[in-house]
Amino acid sequence: MPHPSHAARVRAALLACAATFATGALAAAPQLNVPVEYYRLANGLRVVLSQDAAVPTTTVAVYYHIGFRTEPRNRTGFAHLFEHLMFQESKNLDRGEADKLVNGNGGISNGSTRFDYTNYYQVVPSNVTEAVLWVEAERMRGLALSESSLQNQKDVVKNEVRVNVLNRPYGGFPWLDLPQKANENWYNAHNFYGELADIDAATLADVRSFYDTYYVPSNAVLVVAGDFDPATTRAAIERFFGALPTRPEPKRPDISEPPQHEERLTTSTDPLAPRPALAFGYHVPDRNTPEWYAFGLIDQILLQGDDSRLWQRLVKERGYADGVEGGINLIGNMFDYEGPTLWAASLIHDPGTADERIVADLDEVIGRLQSTPVGAAELERAITKIRSQLYDVAGSPTRFGLAELLACFALFDDDPARINRLESEFRKVTPEALRATAQRYLVPTNRTRLSLAAGRAATGGKP
Amino acid sequence: MSPRIATASVAAALLLAAACAPAPTRPVPPPPREHPPAVGPMRPFTLPTKRDFTLANGMKVTLVPFGTLPKTALLLAVRTANTAEGAHRGLLNITAELLKEGAGTRDAEALAQYAADMGGALEINPALDQTTFGLDVLSDRAADAIGLLADVVRRPRLPAAELPRLKTDLARQVAVARSRPQTLAHEAFAHLMWGDHPYGHEQPTEAEIAAIDIRDVHAFVDREFSAARAHLFVSGQFDAAAVERALRAAFGDWAAGTAPAPHPPTGSRTRVVKLIDRPGAAQSTILLGVPVPGPATPGFIGLSVANAMLGGGLLSRLDRNIREDKGWTYGAASRITPLADGVALWTVATDVNAPDTAPALAEIFKEIDRLRTEPPPADELRSIQNFRAGAFVIGASSRGGILAQLAFIDLQGLPDEYLTQYVQHVYGVTQDELRSAAAHYLDTSAATLVVVADLGKLRPAIEALPALKGARFE
């Protein structure tokens, strides 16, 4: 699980556009048009193919519909620990051999665990595509974990938590801390990285049970994007994955969050932090609703970029901080989760700045959005920012962002092609709908505040 | 982390086909196993064509049409850096922030909105040897974006009223940075490595920040930003004729200015250890390094492959050992950071579980020694070569990656062939050349080591390490 740091979150966006765009004929708003071929194997595995042979590399990603939100209750951090285990030995591969097949043939690979999925992804020179497909099928069907590998990866994961949280100022702030305070349902409100004791408690029996339940074809999607021959690749997918037995799709527990009726204020002290910090989060509308698209534009208008209203007020005018960072879903983006999430932001400020002053400014900026319709130029700017980000997702040299949207839309919506309709959905949002959404959701009773006290006034260590 | 490897373009088409390798061999244990499909030859990869020209005032321009998306990346690289601050440490960082506070006819908010209307955001990155201005916009706004960049570097408003806020911000950033053990390690390491050279002072002090005056900023901008020090790189989809017209109009009459003052660094080759106490630290932060020659040196590619084998990712010996075998860390990495004047810095960095600090240091030294004394197995070398070649192709697969690599060879004074022949040179490294490069350059007897740890518990074990015998403890 990469650490989404305060200052360096990666905001994925989406999309690609038709390759029909020629220099000298730059149209005003080219149509986004990612090629999408979608089907399911007989055992239920979803497959998304998106061909683009501009450069000779291929991106292969497998997303399993199991994230840290729904991991076992007495095993916090287990979904993420399990992600590490999938890189260990399997029936036909010794430890390290999968890495050698992918990276040793010129690829880049990784995995990550998020609220509602765990993913494994790699970009390789396109001649390695079939070998990578074989590796993904191999670990979907034949994980053969040893006790020593389990122990080793427990140690690695505990060191991951130490470097990213325990020995790091602002380590869990606010990405780990805020969901635990803002939510009531355990699935949304536990420590996703895991208590070290829970990580230690994991057994091979836990691993087997989790693997057999969740790592089945009917609970996964395979995405292949980039430079590949469709017919050959479809045949290879059928050959490698088609033989996997059909297993039931696991049931999803109730992850809904009860409505919030009162503002939540919490404080904590970070013994490593030299300055106080403030975070705030609001529950957002259900995904794929008109209000949710409106909220996506509200995020752009209020928070994204140094042109945004909160940046202008809190950073530029008031000088509370050198930046204010956040968005919808702090460890991902507005498209890669399923279920409840927060729109949240945070800033590190000086001791002389009372939280109440910052919140008063926040409320005033929000109040203006609730009382006065957004003008045409500002609305267009918000859509432009989204469109520009979508192109960057499609144009990324790894295509990891593209694979993510295709995978999430296949797993959550059974409709990866909706990637090509996002911009038009945002364009349906009217200034009045945007104002109504702000009035309904951006209210203090729907808010959680997290005040972080600085436990380390002096800086640095002593020689 | 592996070395910064340049990617990018060049006129000639580069075929990487021959470069790529067969599947690695694999021991076959007794029970019948299934095998992965064989890996065939890599499809040819052509680096995009670029066009270079120089304006009459000395400003250099490189245009690289690339890709199928309607976006254009612009990178304006200016030869000024923290090394040019003199006694005013932090001045470039403050200047970079003030440059965003309005330019030409636009105040700060209007400037930010103008960039956002183009689908972009201005990014100014001050660095040790070069300062870059980046703007990535929708293609139909490329010419406007060039105008915006010209406003920022040629007509900044530099409002004095914003200076106190920006100084407060910088002081807070420094305080936050210095609460991280990695920053403390880097800061101490830099001072030991570079002494009084500007490289030796990574973070300005509060007093240095407080002393910055708006007149210092004006003088810095007047002296340091000029045409003969600038290179504009453009990549992505764009109308080349319109872009050229726009940049000639925006920059053609910019004063040439003066050449940057040289600041050749000399790195320490004294074996020295500095231990910094961080009571209660759950992990120890280790930073080890030695100066090495830069990319223009023959043999640098061999060194970079050696470095990748040691600490360049999942296949590397450090990760296989202290992570995947011992479980002492989330990751260990070695890297080569090219600096100015033919100098580079090789470092190993990791954070290890506190009780395992001394054993981890012993394993790091052991792995470096093994690299220096034993030629690597052929299949391991082939895997690392494939990894480097693949990373090169992936790196060259985006407009931003292309610009970064071109700016890199330009700053390092490297010919285009560094890029066109890079993959070929990677595959040309032999087992013995790799060992020899490691033996020659990765000299731990001349290395600087910093450890940030809970010394109350760990000092005796660290000091007793045989690998540190004879080192000077600071």
Q: Is residue A433 part of a domain?
A: yes
Give per-residue pLDDT as tens, A445-457. 999 999 999 998 6
A118 to chain B, any CB pair closer than 8 A? The answer is no
d(CA B3, CA B178): 25
Phi and psi of B89, rounded to 5°? Answer: -65, 135
Q: CA nearest B45 in A: which residue?
A: A56
What's the whole-number average pLDDT of chain B? Answer: 92
- Report residue B28's pLDDT band, with 50, 70 and 90 as the boundaries: low
Q: Are residues A199 and A286 in the same domain?
A: no
Q: Is residue B137 part of a domain?
A: yes
d(CA B149, CA B134): 9
Alpha carbon of residue B296 to chain centroid: 16
pLDDT at residue A21 greater than cutoff 70: no
What distance in Å separates residue B260's CA from the closest CA in chain A?
A: 30
Q: Are residues B312 and B247 in the same domain?
A: no
- Report residue A31's pLDDT band, with 50, 70 and 90 as the boundaries: low
Paired tokens of A251: 């049931």
Q: Across residues A82-93, what is the average pLDDT? A: 97
Using only the alpha carbons of chain B, give its radius of gyration. 24
d(CA B441, CA B152): 42
B393 to chain A, any CB pair closer than 8 A? The answer is yes
pLDDT at residue A461 greater than cutoff 90: no
Q: Across residues A357-364, what is the average pLDDT? A: 98
Q: Is residue B421 part of a domain?
A: yes
pLDDT at residue B427 greater than cutoff 90: yes
Instruction: Show which of B197, B216, B251 is a domain's final residue.
Output: B251
A130 to chain B, any CB pair closer than 8 A? The answer is yes
Q: For residue A419, give its domain range.
A: 264-454
The CATH number linked to A298 is 3.30.830.10
pLDDT at B56: 98
Q: Is residue B43 part of a domain?
A: no
- The number of domains in chain A is 2
**Before A174, cis peptide (omega within 30)?**
yes
With a CB-CB cutoff of 8 Å, which residues 287-346 of chain A face chain B?
A: 305-307, 311-312, 316, 319, 321-322
Q: Are residues B211 and B299 in the same domain?
A: no
Q: Is residue A234 part of a domain?
A: yes
The residue among A3 and B83 whose pLDDT is bigger is B83
**Do A305 and B65 count as a contact with CB atoms less than 8 A apart?**
no
A461 to chain B, any CB pair closer than 8 A? The answer is yes
Q: Are residues A216 and A336 in the same domain?
A: no
The pairing of beta strand A118-125 with beta strand A57-64? antiparallel
**Do A169 and B26 count as a contact with CB atoms less than 8 A apart?**
no
pLDDT at residue A115 greater than cutoff 90: yes
Q: Are residues A211 and A97 in the same domain?
A: yes
Q: Is A424 exposed, middle or buried (0-12, 13-18, 19+ CB in 10 A)?
A: exposed
DSSP B381-434: HHHHHHHHHHHHHHHTSSHHHHHHHHHHHHHHT--THHHHTHHHHHHH--HHHH
How many DSSP H helices and E strands does chain B contain? 17, 14
pTM, entire model: 0.92
Q: Are residues B109 and B151 in the same domain?
A: yes
pLDDT at A100: 95
Closest Cα partner for B354 from B474, B461, B473?
Answer: B461
Q: CA nearest B284 in A: which residue?
A: A167
Q: Are residues A400 and A434 in the same domain?
A: yes
Q: Are residues B239 and B327 in the same domain?
A: no
Q: Are residues A176 and A303 in the same domain?
A: no
Paired tokens of B399: 């407009």
Give per-residue pLDDT as tens, B301-315. 999 999 999 999 899
What percent of chain B clears pLDDT 90, i.e. is strictly above it? 87
Helix axes of A431-441 and A290-302: crossing angle, nearest 10 degrees? 90
Q: For residue B289, give its domain range.
A: 265-473
The pairing of beta strand A57-64 with beta strand A342-348? unpaired
Q: Is residue B44 part of a domain?
A: no
Q: Are residues B157 and B285 in the same domain?
A: no
Q: Cβ neighbours of residue A20 under 8 Å, at least 6 residues apart?
A: none
pLDDT at residue A25 greater than cutoff 60: no
What percent of chain A clears pLDDT 70, i.e. is strictly above it? 92
With a CB-CB cutoff of 8 Å, which residues 254-283 of chain B face chain A?
A: 274-278, 281-283
Give per-residue pLDDT as tens, A170-227. 999 999 999 999 999 999 999 999 999 999 999 999 999 999 999 999 999 999 999 9
Q: Are residues B73 and B211 in the same domain?
A: yes
Half-sphere exposure of B102 (CA within 13 A, CB side): 13
pLDDT at residue A459 greater than cutoff 60: no
Q: Is residue A249 part of a domain?
A: no
Alpha helices for A266-332 (secondary structure H): 290-302, 309-310
Q: Is residue A140 part of a domain?
A: yes
Q: Is residue B343 part of a domain?
A: yes
**Do B169 and A396 count as a contact with CB atoms less than 8 A apart?**
no
Q: Which of A26, A99, A108 sits opposite B391 (nearest CB)?
A: A108
- Report residue A32's pLDDT band, with 50, 70 and 90 as the boundaries: confident
Q: Is A262 exposed, middle or buried (0-12, 13-18, 19+ CB in 10 A)?
A: exposed
The residue among B346 and B69 whose pLDDT is bigger is B346
B134 to chain A, any CB pair closer than 8 A? The answer is no
Give per-residue pLDDT as tens, A52-79. 988 999 999 999 999 999 999 999 999 9
Q: Are residues A275 and A405 in the same domain?
A: yes
A chain contacts of residue B100, beta-carbon cutoff 8 Å:
306
d(CA A225, CA A61): 9
The CATH number linked to B354 is 3.30.830.10
Q: CA nearest B454 in A: which residue?
A: A461
Strand partners, B132: B77, B125
pLDDT at B21: 37
- The number of domains in chain B is 2
Do B26 and B224 meet the contact criterion of CB atoms below 8 Å apart? Answer: no
A26 to chain B, any CB pair closer than 8 A? The answer is yes
pLDDT at B311: 98
Q: Is residue A11 part of a domain?
A: no
Give the Å distances, CA to CA, from A233 to A135, A293, B41, B75, B394: 14, 35, 17, 38, 21
Instruction: Show which of B251, B285, B308 is a domain's final residue.
Output: B251
What's the whole-number average pLDDT of chain A? Answer: 92
pLDDT at A104: 96
Q: Across residues A275-301, what is the average pLDDT? A: 98
Q: Number of CB pairs < 8 Å for A and B?
A: 281
pLDDT at B45: 80
Paired tokens of B219: 């003088």
Q: Cβ neighbours of residue A25 under 8 Å, at least 6 residues apart?
A: none
Alpha carbon of residue B110 to chain centroid: 32
Q: Are residues A206 and A307 in the same domain?
A: no
Look up residue B77 and give its amino acid.
A
Q: Are residues B218 and B334 in the same domain?
A: no
Q: Are residues B286 and B431 in the same domain?
A: yes
A chain contacts of residue B98, beta-carbon cutoff 8 Å:
none
